[in-house]
Amino acid sequence: MKLFKASCSALLISLAASTAFAEISVIVSASNPNSTMDQATVSKIFLGKAKSFPDGSQALPVDQDEGSAARETFNSTVLGKSASQLKSYWSRLIFTGKGTPPKPSGGDAAVKAIVANNPNIIGYIDSSAVDASVKVVHKF
């Protein structure tokens, strides 16, 4: 069953990757002064290695819920880690008090709403869900 699920999601990811609709956008609030960020900067913020935006203001990453297609694509493309590897990475930090993973905060709509309302928060959503309340800083 688990293998089946895994291969289904792999299939979904590869299907998703082949259509223009599945493009993911890393977003900040429209009021956030930072413009584009490269993959390394985004990755450092989401792995807890950097705690501020390039302009020096505090950066708080939020994740999508476990199992969302956007999250799996984000993990493998931007962070370059599988879900198990990430769990292992965070368990090394959580249990030493050195860091906590980005909070799972729902899907595209929920993440967009949280990001729009707070200039310190950074998230990622399917590009098709982007509107004027948020600013895209990275796309893949």
Q: How far is the CB of 84 from another protein (least distance, A)?
A: 4
Per CB under 8 A, 92 contacts another protein: yes
Restricted to residues 44-83, the positions that interact with another protein (CB under 8 A) are 44, 49-52, 66, 80-83
Q: Is 124 helix (H, G, I), strand (E, B) or coil?
A: strand
Q: Which of 14, 96, 131, 132 is the binder for another protein (CB under 8 A)?
A: 96
Beta-bridge mates of residue 126: 24
Contact call for residue 85 and another protein (CB under 8 A): yes
- CA atoms 94, 71, 33, 31: torsion sign: negative
**Per-residue b/e over 99-111, b at no fewer than 16 CB within 10 Å?**
eebbeebbbbebb
End-to-end CA distance of the chain: give it in Å, rounded. Answer: 31
Q: Which of 100, 109, 128, 139 binds another protein (CB under 8 A)?
A: 100
User: Binding string, 1-40, against another protein, x = CB under 8 A?
Assistant: -x---x----------------------------------
Tokens at 108, concatenated:
């595209």
Binding region for another protein (CB under 8 A): 2, 6, 44, 49-52, 66, 80-88, 91-92, 94-98, 100
